[in-house]
């Protein structure tokens, strides 16, 4: 969906790890702490989705008043979806309020042209209208008024993870905050998978941070219901962002929860290295973060070579190696060999334990047992091919700096 929301920033602070699914009263809630969450019946028609969403239906006039008629100085960001504006609502009634008072929100305004935009708008209402978790951005309501289609979210004060990692002039995130963000993003993704939803567009611009740097997944326009019955995957048009999409999905259009796991591995690698998943300003293999970094990720003695220099060495070497191993497991080419998100989350949470947070000397890091087998490509350049068919670029994907940036 419109990736302009990556620059919007949090109003409400949610605590706890339990997630809920808001549904009609005859359906049960699910939790991120429950195993094997049941797939919910999904409304098929637009009318059913909107009527069962438990969201407020705003009029266009209400949102125009809330944003002071979409005044340019209230613009938070823009992208393929349209524009995002800062607005103010009454915290109790969700009616328009005066600027600087009451509740701050982010109002995403769809470009009027294009069926695909409407489809993704409806998908976002469908998912965020019923899925609630501390690590998913909160959707307060929507507007379907004539040709106008808008979405109203909580305001995320610290903006996107992408900006904190890559924007020039931004203060570098500490090691502790990077692991915190990784864990919280993993919690949100775990909840989605337990709710039988595949996110399909995990990337740093879709991870938003509130005032306390709590991470929340945003932008669900590309999300899909997972496979049902004895099906192993969902067949769909390839959509997503270059550098993040799993190679088997690009090659076949077969979408599974493990496709999200691959994307999470890319994001985790970006947190470790401070490099973009795809950087066409670089030459050769260095354009492709995964292929460039793989030879170093499983080697305790070489990992420091790819760590973000902005950290200035202020990180737990043991914790960094543990995180690199998790990322490498997520990035395995064989889909069935990748861990699920529950396993990924458990591994990342171990990094926060006191014994894994202190800095170690190089000799102590070398003494760590390796939890993965020795890579035959270690120390050798990885092939630049992103996909099984040998092409790192696919027309079905968009550039990180294009529609979805």
Buried-state track 328-346, b at ≥16 Cβ within 10 A, e below 16: bbbbbeebeebbebeebbe
As a whole number of angstroms, the distance between CA 150 and CA 111 comes to: 9
Mark whether 201 is an active-site residue: yes
Three-state DSSP class for residue 132: strand
Print the SS3 string covering 59-107: CHHHHHHHCCCCCHHHEEEECCCEEEEEEEECCCCCCECCCCCCEEEEE
Strand pairing category for 139-145 and 56-57: parallel
**Could you tell me how many residues make up the chain?**
405
Measured between alpha carbons, how far apart are the two ends of the chain, in Å? Answer: 10
Three-state DSSP class for residue 180: helix
As a whole number of angstroms, the distance between CA 295 and CA 286 comes to: 12
Determine whether the annotation assigns residue 224 to a binding site.
Answer: no
Three-state DSSP class for residue 136: strand
Contact 172, 311 (CB under 8 A): yes
What single-letter DSSP state applies at residue 8? -
Number of H helices and E strands in the chain, helices first, is: 11, 15
Residue 348, token pair as written in the block: 């990342």
- Indicate which residue of 201, 210, 260, 308 is catalytic: 201
Indicate the burial class of 254 (C-beta count within 10 angstroms; 0-12, 13-18, 19 or more).
Answer: middle
Residue 101, token pair as written in the block: 């008072």
Helix (H) or strand (E) holding 121: helix 115-128
Contact 68, 223 (CB under 8 A): no
As a whole number of angstroms, the distance between CA 141 and CA 53 comes to: 9
As a whole number of angstroms, the distance between CA 405 and CA 201 comes to: 11
Residue 400, token pair as written in the block: 């990180």
Binding residues for ATP: 109
The residues that are catalytic are: 201
């Amino acid at each position: 969906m419109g990736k302009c929301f990556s620059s919007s920033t949090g109003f409400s602070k949610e605590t706890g790890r339990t997630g809920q699914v808001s549904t009609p009263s005859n359906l049960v809630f699910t939790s991120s702490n429950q195993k094997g969450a049941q797939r919910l019946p999904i409304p098929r028609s637009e009318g059913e989705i909107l009527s069962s969403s438990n969201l407020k239906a705003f009029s266009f006039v209400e949102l125009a008043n809330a944003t002071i008629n979409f005044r340019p100085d209230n613009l938070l960001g823009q992208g393929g979806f349209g524009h995002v504006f800062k607005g103010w609502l009454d915290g109790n009634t969700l009616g328009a309020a005066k600027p600087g008072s009451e509740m701050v929100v982010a109002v995403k305004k769809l470009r009027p042209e294009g069926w695909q935009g409407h489809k993704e708008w409806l998908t976002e209402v469908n998912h965020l209208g019923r899925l609630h978790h501390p690590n998913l951005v909160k959707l307060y309501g929507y507007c379907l008024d004539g040709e106008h289609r808008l979405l109203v979210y909580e305001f995320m004060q610290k903006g996107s993870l992408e900006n904190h990692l890559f924007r020039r002039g931004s203060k570098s995130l500490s090691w502790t905050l990077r692991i915190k963000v990784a864990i919280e993003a993993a919690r949100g993704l775990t909840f989605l998978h337990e709710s039988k939803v595949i996110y399909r567009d995990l990337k740093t611009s879709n991870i938003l941070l509130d005032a306390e740097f709590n991470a929340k997944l945003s932008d669900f326009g590309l999300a899909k219901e997972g496979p049902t019955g004895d099906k192993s995957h969902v067949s769909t048009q390839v959509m997503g962002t270059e550098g993040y999409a799993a190679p088997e999905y690009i090659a076949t259009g077969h979408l599974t929860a493990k496709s999200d796991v691959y994307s999470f591995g890319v994001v985790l690698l970006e947190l470790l290295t401070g490099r973009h998943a795809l950087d066409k300003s670089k030459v050769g293999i260095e354009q492709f973060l995964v292929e460039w970094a793989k030879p170093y990720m499983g080697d305790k003695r070489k990992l420091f070579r790819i760590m973000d220099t902005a950290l200035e060495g202020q990180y737990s070497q043991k914790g960094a190696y543990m995180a690199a191993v998790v990322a490498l497991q997520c990035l395995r080419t064989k889909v069935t060999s990748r861990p699920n998100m529950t396993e990924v989350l458990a591994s990342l949470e171990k990094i926060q334990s006191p014994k894994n947070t202190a800095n170690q000397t190089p000799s102590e890091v070398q003494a760590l047992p390796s939890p993965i087998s020795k890579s035959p490509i270690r120390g050798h350049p990885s092939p630049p091919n992103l996909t099984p068919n040998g092409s790192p670029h696919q027309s079905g994907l968009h550039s990180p700096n294009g529609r979805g940036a």
